[in-house]
Amino acid sequence: MSVQLSPSTALVFQRPLHVLSKEILILKNPGAEPIIFKVKTTAPKQYCVRPNAGYIDPYSEIEVQVILQPFKEEPPLDYRCKDKFLIQTIALDPSINEKLPLAEIWHTLESRDKGAIHQHKLRCMFLSPKEAEIHRLSEAGGAPGGEESPQQSSELPNAVPVGPPPVYSLTDSNPTAVVPTTNGLEETKAKLEEELVEAEETIRSLIRQIEKQRQAPVRSTSSKKLPSVVQPLDAVHRHLAQLEKGRTTEGYPPQVVLMLAIVVFLITLIFF
């Protein structure tokens, strides 16, 4: 026995997404047999579902809270969420004791007839409040249900299958136990981008250091060799200038020397 889902195609989470966001999923049992269900997702660390498994009595419904953990940073407006939810339901066999643990009941029913399990797939969307309201109105005008045939493996409408099929995991029913984190793929991409920026900055820094080292010998050679060439020339010029000066000022004119000699001779004759 299958259930009717509301919403039937997608879980819409309104921005901003850096705060806790919650969406309500209604599971309705239209039949006369009790149904058991469980909710799985491709991103179990990003979402918390309360309850993530349980019973639905005949002609009744149950409310499931799907809580999106806050992102560290607000995703861009063109960000396309690839997270999906899988709701599995199966009619409860009257021969099975309902007081048994739910996991044991699921194991028993799956072992009996795995093809009796109905699967419903929901995608996730991150929209602004206005876009979310338009989406809800359009979905309200569409066909109800969201039911898929047992063991149906096709993807959702408008979904493009890329790589292997998504892997669904049972979500944690305790929201406090879920560590807020971004989608694994987006987080890995962000880390790679940060490492790329750091690598580019390191390369630019190394290029600047190489350019400085190439320019340094030219400046040091010009600053050291120039004085070694100029200073000896200056010393030679100064030495020649001193020699020329000494030649012009050293000694007395011959006339003066001759006059002094005569005076000395006369003084010697007179007094001696």
pLDDT digits (tens, 9 = 90+) for 101-129: 988 998 888 888 888 899 999 999 999 88
Of residues 189 and 14, which shows the higher confidence score? 14
Question: Which comes out higher in pLDDT, residue 129 or 28?
Answer: 28
Q: How far apart (Å, rounded) are the C-alpha atoms in residues 242 and 5?
A: 112
Q: What is the DSSP letter of 199?
A: H
Name the band, by pLDDT with cuts 50, 70 and 90, for residue 240. Answer: low
Looking at per-residue pLDDT, the higher value among 150 and 245 belongs to: 245
Q: Which residue would you say has higher pLDDT here, 237 or 248?
A: 237
How high is the pLDDT of residue 247? 54
What kind of architecture, by CATH, is found in domain 4-181?
Sandwich (2.60)
Model confidence at 64: pLDDT above 90: yes
Q: Pick the more confident residue, 226 or 114.
A: 114
Distances in whole angstroms, Cα of residue 254 to Cα of each of 248, 259, 260, 261, 265? 14, 9, 10, 11, 17
Q: Tell me what the pLDDT averaged over the chain comes to.
A: 76
Confidence bin at 231 (pLDDT 50/70/90):
low
